[in-house]
A and B are shown apart, each in its own frame.
Chain A
Amino acid sequence: MRLVGRSLLVGLWFMFLTLPLLAVRVNTITETVEWRWLNLVWVGLGTFILSLALALWRQRSESQPQRDDGEGDITPRWRERLFHDQTVYRPLLIMALLATLLLPWLVDIYQINILVLALIFVVLGLGLNIIVGLAGLLDLGYIAFFAVGAYTYALLNINLDLGFWAALPLGGLAGAFFGLLIGFPVLRLRGDYLAIVTLGFGSIVKIVIENEDELFYGAMGIADIPRPGLLGLDLSLDQSTLYTYYLVVALALLAIFVTNRLKDSRLGRAWIALREDEIAAVAMGIDMAKCKLSAYAFGAFWAGLVGVLFAARNTFIHPNSFTFAESALVLSMVVLGGMGSIVGVTLAALILVLLPEYLQGLAEYRMLVFGGVMVAMMVFRPHGLISPSRRRYTRPQAQGEEG
């Protein structure tokens, strides 16, 4: 009964909250205010039922552990199998790979274009995951490195007539260089202070590009950037989009492969150790400056690399593509996915780009749904979609006895 009462309150509260957005509409033609009370009733009813269901579900899951405490809960074991049992995750991975490769043949060109964008953000997410997720350095201006990559390609193309393939590694290196540039002065900063400086850095890059007409073509942006070339062949727009899709798939796979290897390497462990406890990490002989700088450079490298691809895909770049909103989007991918979890970040990046695209049917309520999903995430999975798992190492054979 208490639950019903509480759910009723939740329903009322939501009706109140959404009142201005859903019920009141100003008809600009007749200049009258329309009151759409029915909408409000639906909101109230919907939230009431949802909140009641949630409360009941909570109650049940709370009483469950007492019933079968000998067994322990099932979910970790299921997760264990998914991530540690090769016979389970190998086929899954292969299926996912096949699906990615076959997908462009099943959907139209518009969808492929969206997928390319989603995969670009996957790579961005994985890059930022190195800086924020593994090394624990909160970076609010990550998109600046992306801009550096994109502008590197555009400018090299205009001034030196360099092609996509020549610019790709250079874009990555330019990103890494800027990573070092921002990394040096902020080595000693932590937490909030670091976030502020990186936020500033992100804005500076955008503002400089925007206001420098001679060098960066300012607020006009740069147009007619060539698409990626394939051995000098002349590709139609459709073919070129398909080609770009496979390129970005390859890039995303490379990013997944590399970050996965790094995560469990000597360097990756050092990054995590620095994130966990800087003083202890330094006392264990980890060179803080070297480690942090490598995290910055390497994370920024991916943004630069994929920035080149972004410029080539859009054929037009403009400073407004690199605002704080984009930085925040990439950061929320890392946070939603689960700090340091590669699978989680990949999933979150796909969801965060594709969901708004396909929610366009909901038009003006899109951000409302988006916000709702965010809140639901915070309630149900506060550590992200998939919390990072650590690798197990086998014991040496020589001493098999139990200790």
Chain B
Amino acid sequence: MALLQVENLCMDFGGLRAVDQVSLSVEDGEIVALIGPNGAGKTTFFNCVTGHYAPTGGEIVISPPQGERARIDGLKPNRVTALGLARTFQNIRLFPAMTVLENVMIGRHCRTRTSLLGAILRGPGTRRQERETIDTSYRLLEKVGLLDVADEFARNLSYGGQRRLEIARALATDPFLLLLDEPAAGMNPQETRELDELIVRIRDEEGLAILLIEHDMPLVMNLSDRIYVMEYGCKIAEGTPQQIRSNPRVIKAYLGEQDDA
């Protein structure tokens, strides 16, 4: 059973069909890429999966490694996150006036429980939980290489640093599937290479699957086990990087008329 199974997903905005009958699946431990020209509906697709939009048609089913099958289309985003799907945003959305560490600690929110009274009295249970939250957050910061800026405000981070912080924050929610929306956007080649390594490391060490939207072709071809291609809201191709590279429709739609890949 696939971790994430999307069947015939549709999303209408008034008379505009932004996502049209798209099906997609992600298996355990896979890195899957979703590519397509600007405006193809990739981010809308993401927003439907993570609950920011309620899709107008189709269904989204998850089967987490631990836990039972569940339909998640139409659920609120915080419920989706609690079930184990975490995402990053195309236009970085951090909490700028909080420290880097606190940003990651927010990710632990849905995995911890403290009542109002518990927070005020700060009993041993609460303290233990706080300690655990802090330790986990530091571990994640170390993983993405932001340990030495943990006490900086998030807004003071470099662009690449902010992107990596978003990934750390998403990881803090203990997901089984990580959805990355253009993680390499605006990065230089050096940073992109580091990101490439980071994504593979996350998959291997945390044992989770990754679904990513990306425009950086070398990164996508290098990283992905499978690729889905969208154009004008429809899925036009799917397959391994080799298959996609030689698919004439994809080349025409996305990579340009001349194939030099």
Contact = CB atoms under 8 A, between A and B. Distances in A.
A262 B116 CA distance: 8
A270 B102 contact: no
B97 interface: yes
B95 A267 contact: no
B78 A267 contact: no
Interface string A81-115: 00000000000000000000000000000000000
Contacts of B107: 284-285
Given A270-B106, A285-B173, A279 B119 contact: no
A390 interface: yes
Contact of A280 (B95, B102, B119): B95
B54 interface: no
A183 interface: no
A57 interface: no
A277 B99 contact: no
B106 A294 contact: no
Contacts of B169: 284
B98 A390 contact: yes
B112 A266 contact: yes
B47 to A, nearest CB: 10
B12 interface: no
Contact of B138 (A267, A287, A395): A395
Contacts of A285: 78, 81-82, 107, 109-111, 173
B98 A286 contact: no
A402 B89 CA distance: 29
B185 interface: no
A78 interface: no
Nearest to B108: A266
B89 to A, nearest CB: 7
A395 B150 CA distance: 9
Contacts of A286: 78, 106, 109-110
A380 interface: no
A267 B116 contact: yes
B148 interface: yes
A393 B101 contact: yes
Interface in B117-137: 119-120, 122, 126, 129-130, 133-135
A261 B120 CA distance: 6
Interface in A270-294: 270, 272-273, 276-277, 279-288, 294
A270 B105 CA distance: 10
B183 interface: no
A277 B77 contact: no
A28 to B, nearest CB: 54
Contacts, number: 126
Do most interface residues of chain B lie in helix, strand or loop, or is the interface mixed? helix
Interface in B175-212: none
Contact of A282 (B76, B111, B116, B133): B76
Nearest to A262: B119
A276 B109 contact: no
A391 B151 CA distance: 9
B148 A403 contact: yes
B228 to A, nearest CB: 22
Given A286-B106, A390-B98, A266 B119 contact: yes
Interface string B68-91: 000000001110011000110100
Contacts of B96: 276
Contacts of A388: 97
Contact of A281 (B106, B112, B138): B106
A282 B78 contact: yes
B157 interface: no
B40 interface: no
A276 B142 CA distance: 24
Contacts of B105: 269
17 contacts: A265-B114, A266-B109, A273-B106, A280-B95, A282-B52, A283-B52, A283-B81, A284-B78, A284-B173, A285-B81, A285-B111, A286-B109, A287-B76, A294-B116, A390-B99, A392-B151, A402-B147
Q: Please list the 5 inter-chain residue pairs (A to B) with the smallest Cβ-Cβ separation, ordered nearest first.
A: A285-B110, A403-B147, A265-B119, A285-B81, A280-B93
Given A272-B97, A287-B76, A390-B97, 8 more contacts: A266-B129, A267-B114, A277-B95, A284-B86, A284-B107, A390-B102, A391-B102, A396-B139
Interface of A: 258, 261-262, 265-270, 272-273, 276-277, 279-288, 294, 298, 388, 390-396, 399, 402-403
